[in-house]
Amino acid sequence: MRKVGLSLTGQDIKCIEIPAGPCGFVVFGASGDLVRRKLLVSLFRLFQQDLISEKFFLLGAGRKELSNEQFRKDTEQIICEKTKETSPLGLEQFLSLLYYIDGDYREASFYDNIKAEIGKLSQKHHANDNIIFYLSVPPFLYPEIVEHLGSSKLSCQPKTKLVVEKPFGKDLESALDLNEKINKCFNESQVYRIDHYLGKETVQNILMFRFANSIFEPIWNRNFIDHIQVTAAESDGIEHRAAYYDQSGALRDMFQNHMLQMLALAAMEPPISFEANSVRDEIVKLLKSIRPFKIEELDNYIVRGQYGEGIINGEKIVSYKSEHSVSPGSRTETYIAAKIFIDNWRWKDVPFYMRTGKRLSGKDTEIAITFKKSPHSMFASMGFNEIPSNVLVLQIQPKEGILLDFQAKRPGARKCMSTLSMNFNYADLFGTEMPEAYQRLLLDCMLGDQTLFTRQDSIETAWSILTPVLTIWENSDSKPVIYPAGSESFLQADKLIESEGHKWRKIGD
C-alpha cells in the first residue's frame, strides 16, 4: 500500500497550557516502580516547563527509613538516567522541593506525622491547602490509607485531592466496596482515578478528531460504518509484574479499563462541552448501552487465551506458566478477544471487535474504523468486483497518527487501481518527543480538571459488564486456549470475527 503524507497548514488554535498554582504532593509508596519510572520524571518535566510553580513541595511517604538527602539523591539518579542528562536544567531547584517521611501505613501516628509535616511544608513553600494524596501502593492498601486520611481529617479541605491508580477493584462488588470507602472520606469531586491511557495525546486526539472535524460526524454511525476493531497488542510479556498479573489477567488489567475507555471515546455521543462532567456523562452513557454478554453463548462473544512457548524476533520465549512467580497450573488469561454490540440508535448491529494480548507478534494499539463497501461497483467490467473498503485508523501507540485508506487510479494502464493511505504521523509534524501521559494527568489533577480521570459510575458500569463473564470463567473448569508466543491470533479468536465475514487487521499494519 502506498502512503501519502500530510503537512501542517493554517495556524494553531489556542495552544495554551495553564500552569498549576501552589500545591503540595504527598505520594504513598515513594520507593515503588511507578514513582521511580513515571511520577518523579513527569513532575520534573512539568517543573522544567514552568508548569509547576515554586510554591510546591513533594512529600514521599513509605515504609523504608530514608533521609530527605537520600530521597533527593535517589531522585537525582532516576531523573538523570531517564532524561539521559548529567545535569538537567532546574534539577537542583526541583530536588530542593522534595522531602521524605517514613512510617507504617496501618498506624494512625503515621498520618499524624504526615499532617504535621504538611503543615510545616505548606507554610515554608506557600503551598496553600491544595494538597494531593497519591496512592502508588498495592491496591490492598487503598482502603486502609483512605480511612486513615479520613479519620486524621487530612481529607477535609475542599481543595484536597485523592489520586487512585488502577486497578479500581477486581470485580463489581470490590469496586463498589472501594468506592464506598473512598466516598466516606472524599467527595467524588476530590477523587482522581487514573487510567493513564486517557493521558496519551493520541487518545485525547480521538475527541478532537471526531468533534472538531465536521466531515466525519455525519458518517460516524451504522449507516456508513461496517465495523470497528480496537486492538491493544503487545509483544512484551508480564515483565516484573507476575505476582500482580497472575491474580489479574488481561480482562482486568487491560479490558475493563483501557479497552473500554478507548471504545467509549470512539463511539460516544458528542458532549455538550469539553468539561469534565459533560465528557464523563457521555462515556458512562455509552458504557451503559453495551449489550450484556449472553452467558449461554459466551464463546461466540468473548474468548481468552494464554501464551505458550514460542519465538518473537528470533528469541525463544518461555510459556506464561513457566514465567517466574506464575503458578504452573495458572488459568490466568493473557489474551482477550470480544465482539461487542452497542444498543443505541447510532450503533445498532455494528460489531465492535476488541482484542488485547501479550506476547503477540508485535506491539500495536489502534482503533480501526472500516466503512461500508460501495453499494455498486461501476468498475466491475474492468475486473474490480471487490473494491476494498475505506479504513480509518486512529493509531495510539507505538505508531502515533491517523491513516485513511482510499482507492485511486494509478497512472498508465486503463485497468489500474491502488489502495493509498493518507498518513498523518505525529512525529513527522510535531517531533518525536511526545509528552508522557502522566505529565498531562498530573498537571490536570493539580489544576482540578477531572476530564481525563475515570468517574465512579464509569468504573462500576464497566465492571457490571465484565463481572458475569469473570464469574462464569472462575467457576467453570474451562481454561484459556494456549497460543504460541509470537502469534497474531488463534482459531477461537478468529472464529469470533469471521462469523460475520470479517478478518482481524494484521498487527502492526
Ligand X SMILES: NC(=O)c1ccc[n+]([C@@H]2O[C@H](COP(=O)([O-])OP(=O)(O)OC[C@H]3O[C@@H](n4cnc5c(N)ncnc54)[C@H](OP(=O)(O)O)[C@@H]3O)[C@@H](O)[C@H]2O)c1
Spatial contact of 188 and 455, defined as CB atoms under 8 Å apart = yes
Nearer to ligand X, 38 or 455 (CB): 38
Helical pair 437-447 and 40-48, crossing angle rounded to 10 deg: 70
Shortest CB 193 distance to ligand X, Å: 11
Q: Does 365 bind ligand X (CB under 6 A)?
A: no
Query: Alpha-carbon distance 328 to 51, whole Å?
Result: 48
Find the binder of ligand X among 6, 21, 32, 470 (CB under 6 A).
32
Find the binder of ligand X among 74, 76, 165, 234 (CB under 6 A).
165
Catalytic residue among 227, 240, 258, 502, which? 258
Query: Alpha-carbon distance 277 to 297, whole Å?
Result: 36
324 has catalytic annotation = no
| Cell output for 260 | 473500554
Spatial contact of 305 and 482, defined as CB atoms under 8 Å apart = yes
Find the binder of ligand X among 23, 41, 52, 62 (CB under 6 A).
62
If you search the block for the grid coordinates 531517564, which residue do you land on?
82
Q: Does 166 bind ligand X (CB under 6 A)?
A: yes
Q: Does 333 bind ligand X (CB under 6 A)?
A: no
Question: What is the DSSP code string of 444-488?
Answer: HHHHT--TTSB-HHHHHHHHHHHHHHHHHHHHSS--PEEEETTBS
Shortest CB 127 distance to ligand X, Å: 22
Closest C-alpha to 446, from 40, 46, 41: 46
Spatial contact of 317 and 263, defined as CB atoms under 8 Å apart = no
Q: Does 31 bind ligand X (CB under 6 A)?
A: yes
Shortest CB 167 distance to ligand X, Å: 6
For residue 375, give the DSSP letter.
S
Shortest CB 104 distance to ligand X, Å: 8
Buried b (16+ CB within 10 A) or exposed e, 183-199: eebbeeebbbbbbbbbb
Q: Does 64 bind ligand X (CB under 6 A)?
A: yes
Shortest CB 434 distance to ligand X, Å: 17
Closest C-alpha to 145, from 27, 35, 45: 27
Shortest CB 368 distance to ligand X, Å: 25
Q: Does 143 bind ligand X (CB under 6 A)?
A: no
Give the per-residue SS3 of 167-231: CCCCCHHHHHHHHHHHHHHCCHHHEEEECHHHHCHHHHHHHHHHHCCCCCHHHCCCCCEEEEEEE
Nearer to ligand X, 35 or 207 (CB): 35
Binding-site size for ligand X (CB under 6 A) equals 18
Shortest CB 72 distance to ligand X, Å: 15
Q: Which of the ranges 19-27, 165-173, 295-303, 336-344 carries the binding residues for ligand X, by CB under 6 A?
A: 165-173
Q: Does 113 bind ligand X (CB under 6 A)?
A: no
Nearer to ligand X, 167 or 357 (CB): 167
Nearer to ligand X, 227 or 455 (CB): 455
| Cell output for 473 | 470463567
Shortest CB 253 distance to ligand X, Å: 9
Find the binder of ligand X among 138, 158, 270, 292 (CB under 6 A).
138
Spatial contact of 88 and 80, defined as CB atoms under 8 Å apart = yes
Q: Which of the ranges 31-39, 168-176, 273-281, 462-470 carries the binding residues for ligand X, by CB under 6 A?
A: 31-39
* Segment 301 to 320, residues that bind ligand X, using CB under 6 A: none
Spatial contact of 359 and 236, defined as CB atoms under 8 Å apart = yes
Closest C-alpha to 157, from 108, 122, 113: 122
Looking at the DSSP assignment, which residues form a beta bridge with residue 414?
Answer: none
Q: Does 103 bind ligand X (CB under 6 A)?
A: no
Find the binder of ligand X among 23, 30, 268, 437 (CB under 6 A).
30
Find the binder of ligand X among 20, 24, 26, 29 (CB under 6 A).
29
The enclosing H or E element of 336 equals: strand 335-340
Q: Does 139 bind ligand X (CB under 6 A)?
A: yes
Q: Which of the ranges 9-17, 24-32, 392-400, 461-469 carries the binding residues for ligand X, by CB under 6 A?
A: 24-32
Q: Could you tell me how many residues make up the chain? A: 509
Query: Alpha-carbon distance 481 to 72, whole Å?
Result: 48
Find the binder of ligand X among 63, 210, 291, 502 (CB under 6 A).
63
Q: Which of the ranges 159-167, 255-263, 306-314, 452-460 carries the binding residues for ligand X, by CB under 6 A?
A: 159-167
Looking at the DSSP assignment, which residues form a beta bridge with residue 328?
Answer: none
Q: Which of the ranges 4-12, 62-70, 261-269, 299-307 carries the binding residues for ligand X, by CB under 6 A?
A: 62-70
Query: Alpha-carbon distance 319 to 268, whole Å?
Result: 38
Shortest CB 107 distance to ligand X, Å: 12
Binding region for ligand X (CB under 6 A)? 29-34, 62-64, 105, 136-139, 141, 165-167
Catalytic positions, written as ranges: 258
